[in-house]
Amino acid sequence: MFEEKKISVITPSYNSERFISETIKSVLMQSYKNWELIIVDDCSSDKTIEIIKEFANNEKRIKFFKNKANLGAAVTRNYAFTRVTGEYIAFLDSDDLWHPDKLKLQLEFMKKNNYNFSFTGYKQINENDLFIKNINNLPEKVNYENTIKSNKIGCLTVMIKVGFFKEISMPNLRKRQDFGLWLKLLKECDYAYCLPEILSSYRVRRDSVSSDKLSLIKFHWELYRNIEKQSVLKSLYYLSYHIFNKVFLRK
């Protein structure tokens, strides 16, 4: 049995009253027990805060913080990073779910192979918990060049070893800030490695930012040009590759 290492789970929340209870319960039900759940709320106007506080009052491993103003997911997650006390970080958004053995299996996978950055397969579900499809046709490993063209890494599946990386922070983008972080980390380690098991459920929501395809193109362009400092030609190449992959290859 591997020595237990604390895992810090990062969860930003905003108006998530419908789903946040099940998300938190999926952490509470983990077979691996040495974790802390850091939830930072971005000024929710519904009952999200009330629900989180009820859980936090009954579970000392849940640490709750609240932004003074609505700052967006990137700033919210970056604040959560400053509160981390674990040796590993995992990500779980406030409407997604984990398999009960997710943390256990992924940590064993990383420690056995001495990996610093890993991800897993996952499934998509809708707002009523109904199955959509599995996302498990993933490469064994990805590097910076693979990922900037086509991101295969689902945020809710990632685990990273804190001490290996110089700085863990996301670019201040309204969307695709997680993609920006993966690229940043892949400049410091050669590969992110895939554990080929479905250990998470990603909720596809009609009102999410990711449902607006045209805006996603804008966010990718901003990431390529302003964050990654790619040339216009390179940015066009990466964007074209991304669109082709999404529209044609996945069909």
Alpha helices in the chain (DSSP H): 20-28, 48-58, 73-82, 102-113, 144-149, 177-186, 213-222, 232-244
Tell me what the pLDDT averaged over the chain comes to.
92
Is residue 128 located within the same domain as residue 159?
A: yes
37 and 115 assigned to the same domain: yes
Is residue 160 domain-shared with residue 179, that is, in the same domain? yes
In a domain? residue 104:
yes
Do residues 37 and 154 both lie within one domain? yes
Domain residues for 231? 212-251
- Whether residue 185 sits in one domain with residue 67: yes
pLDDT tens track for 215-249: 778 888 888 888 888 999 998 988 888 777 765 54
- pTM to 2 decimal places: 0.91
Residue 176 in any domain: the answer is: yes
Domain for residue 24, yes or no? yes
**Which helix (DSSP H) or strand (DSSP E) does residue 112 occupy?**
helix 102-113
Phi, psi for 35 (deg, rounded to 5) = -135, 160
Q: Are residues 202 and 223 in the same domain?
A: no
> Is residue 88 located within the same domain as residue 129?
yes
Per-residue pLDDT at 212 exceeds 90: no
In a domain, 2, yes or no: no
Is 91:160 a contact under the CB 8 Å cutoff? no
Look at residue 11 and tell me if it is in a domain.
Answer: yes
> Position 163: which residue type?
G
Show the tokens assigned to 171. Answer: 């670019």
CA-based nearest residue to 87, from 152, 7, 164, 9 = 7
Number of domains in the chain: 2
Classify residue 69: in a domain, yes or no.
yes
Tell me, yes or no, whether 220 and 112 share the same domain: no
Tell me, yes or no, whether 55 lies in a domain.
yes
pLDDT tens-digit map of 153-191: 999 999 999 999 999 999 988 788 999 999 999 999 999
User: What would the pLDDT profile of 108-127 be if each residue is shown by its tens digit?
Assistant: 999 999 999 999 999 999 99
Decide if 242 is inside a domain: yes
Please indicate, yes or no, whether residues 107 and 187 belong to a single structural domain of this protein. Answer: yes
What backbone torsions phi and psi does residue 226 show, to the nearest 5 degrees? -90, -30
pLDDT at site 211: 47
The CATH number of residue 30's host domain is 3.90.550.10
